[in-house]
Amino acid sequence: MEPRSPDLAALVAEAAVVLDDATDLFLKGHRADSAVRKKGNDFATEIDLAIERQVVDALVAATGIGVHGEEFGGTAFDAPWVWVLDPVDGTINYAAGSPLAAMLLGLLHRGEPVAGLTWLPFIGERYTAVAGGPLIKNGMPQPPLSRTELAATLVGVGSFSADSRGRFPGRYRVALLENLSRVSSRLRMHGSTGIDLVYVADGILGGAISFGSHVWDHAAGAALVRAAGGIVTDLTGASWTPTSQSMLAAAPGVHAEISEILHRTGQPEDY
């Protein structure tokens, strides 16, 4: 379904109200117990489910655009227009009582991330952007990312088990982190892909590596990082799309350095 208005800023403003309305529920549910067991050690809380229901209904009513959510699916993410929602990113953090959890909402137009919103309710930070920038933090436009060097920056990486298998085996991840650490000893695991990505957009991190393939983890961040002047690809260097199996988001300069380290580390299947 095409939106009633092609004005991306207006759509983001409407979406911001929807996320603000869900913030109290998000805050009240801190340390919520697991409600739905998912793959591996992942799970959803009742708050994930409740926020998704509330936000989906409100977004469709306010914008006329369908939603693809983490918990219930919905509109296909290759639709002409679709919101992509992660109601609680960093669910394990959230359930444990950590403040490192977020609400993520991206807008895709024919697969291209054209707007993003990331809410960090426990920290009191709200980020938005539309294609072309700038990144807006708590209502204030931020300067674009400048070119920087890997050795001078923090780098966000996803958590994992060294014995895990799959597309990016644990031993491959260990080797990559070892190689990264030789250039930057400032590696960070926040336990939230969305927070890693918005921190790249905000210049807090120089780069972030995600070994995941879920579009709801990446859509908002892809829009935010690109709007801020960063580079977003998968780990092979191909431009990120909703079907990508990984993500590398970084400031200019850092992206090229991490890409070279990825190349030198070799292919995941060799591990």
Q: Is 7 annotated as a binding residue?
A: no
Residue 232 contacts residue 222 (beta carbons within 8 Å): yes
> What's the residue count for the chain?
271
Q: Is 270 annotated as a binding residue?
A: no
Q: Is 89 annotated as a binding residue?
A: yes
For residue 201, the Cα-to-chain-centroid distance in whole angstroms is 11
Residue 77 contacts residue 68 (beta carbons within 8 Å): yes
In 3-state terms, what secondary structure has residue 96?
helix
Q: Is 234 annotated as a binding residue?
A: no
Residue 184 contacts residue 150 (beta carbons within 8 Å): yes
User: Residues 6 or more apart from 198 whose CB is under 8 A from it?
Assistant: 102, 118, 120, 127, 220, 221, 224
Binding positions for Mg(2+): 70, 86, 89, 217
Binding residues: 70, 86, 89, 217
